[in-house]
Amino acid sequence: MLEKVITGIAKNELYMGYIFGIMILGGFIREHSALEDVYSLAKKYIKDHRVLVIITSLLGGILPIPGRVALSAPLLDAIAPPDKERRSAFGVIDYLSVHHYYWWSPLEKTVVLPMAVMGVSYSTFLGYTIVPLIITLGYTWWYIFTKVPAASVVPNLEYVRDFNWRRAITGWAPLIATVILLLNTGKAGAPFFFPWFLAMSIYYSIVYKDWKWGRWLDGKFAIIATIVLALGGVVGLIKTPVMEYLKAATPEMLIPASLVAMVAAYIMGSSGKYAGMTSVLVSIFGPQYLVWFLCTEYSGYLISPAHKCLMIGQQYFGTPIKKYYVVLSRLCAILIAYAAITTFIL
């Protein structure tokens, strides 16, 4: 048992290299304006700053990488204002804007695994998830454009110069290479992304002649992240007994099994693990309960304290955890209510 605990902790701590890589990459993007030419175009054509923030998050969060805001957060950080209150709004917007992919992206396990278990086409799967997707996007749009005043989301674009193709290609080359590599190799975990972020950091060091990475490493956050990841490695051990319980479930255990899966998703904070649990439950109870399982487990995952996106967002924008939960809990309640009504009443 002790060996399993140590292995689980060690496996999770691999993400620390990944997180350090994010800190260094974000430092280059912020201090050397590596992506300013993208913002130069945006500044010219996009008038509502909230739209600019949403688009930045959407593009940065499209890749199926650990801690989905890992790329979008540094992009937003480069234009986030210094004021703490205004910066905190960026964290919530970023979080909401990148977590709809789990409902529809064919790159996600949350889509691929249930499809495989059910033996259905992609279009058929979307028939199940289209309403939760619309709810998620609609809630995101509603929150950003009714609860977040435009004046509180004013990106700092004063440093942005006129667009230059050569400078743009130089700044974007590592991120473009990342996209190409991922599209050709599929999703990779922390062991892959640590050396990849290291390679990107070396590239920017050569381009900008800046090798002083240490100033971008946040020691306080590193300690917190280390503790959270260690705890995540321990609680991740519940996956095996939870899966055994779910596989042994009988038809009359529908509600208890779904609640166990939801709590497990909350504890583990992993989209891959909740996708696996959903697939097991659908194979036992049938596809008519897919929406119920997806909505409940997605909700547990979304508000999980072990969710890496929360850690990354707090690091970059200082968004209070309470602010995340106030916003996210409403979305989760709406999704679960919809799933309950359509599954058990209609």
Q: Work out the angle at residue 211's Cα, subtended by the Cα atoms of residues 206 and 217, and round it to the nearest 5 degrees.
A: 130
Q: What is the pTM of this model?
A: 0.77
Confidence of residue 13 (pLDDT cuts 50, 70, 90): low
Q: Work out the percent of the chain whose per-residue pLDDT is above 90.
A: 23
Amino acid at 2: L
pLDDT value for 5:
45
Packed helices 321-340 and 122-142: angle between N→C axes, nearest 10 degrees = 130
Of 247, 270, 271, 268, nearest in space to 257 by CA:
247
Amino acid at 281: L
Are 144 and 93 spatial neighbours (Cβ–Cβ below 8 Å)? yes
The C-alpha atoms of residue 323 and residue 13 are separated, in whole angstroms, by: 27
Per-residue pLDDT of 35-64, as tens digits, reads 666 666 666 677 776 787 777 777 666 666
Q: Name the 3-class secondary structure at 107.
A: coil
Are 249 and 284 spatial neighbours (Cβ–Cβ below 8 Å)? yes
Confidence of residue 346 (pLDDT cuts 50, 70, 90): confident
pLDDT value for 138:
94
The C-alpha atoms of residue 9 and residue 6 are separated, in whole angstroms, by: 5
Per-residue pLDDT of 182-216, as tens digits, reads 566 555 555 566 677 778 888 888 988 888 888 77
Give the residue extent of every domain in the chain.
2-345
Of 197, 233, 210, 188, nearest in space to 20 by CA:
197
Q: Which of 39-53, 78-92, 128-142 has the highest mean pLDDT?
A: 128-142
Per-residue pLDDT of 229-276, as tens digits, reads 665 555 555 566 776 767 777 778 899 999 999 998 998 888 888 888
Q: Residue 342 above 90 pLDDT?
A: yes
Of 183, 164, 104, nearest in space to 137 by CA:
104
Q: Residue 332 above 90 pLDDT?
A: yes
Per-residue pLDDT of 107-122, as tens digits, reads 788 998 899 889 899 9
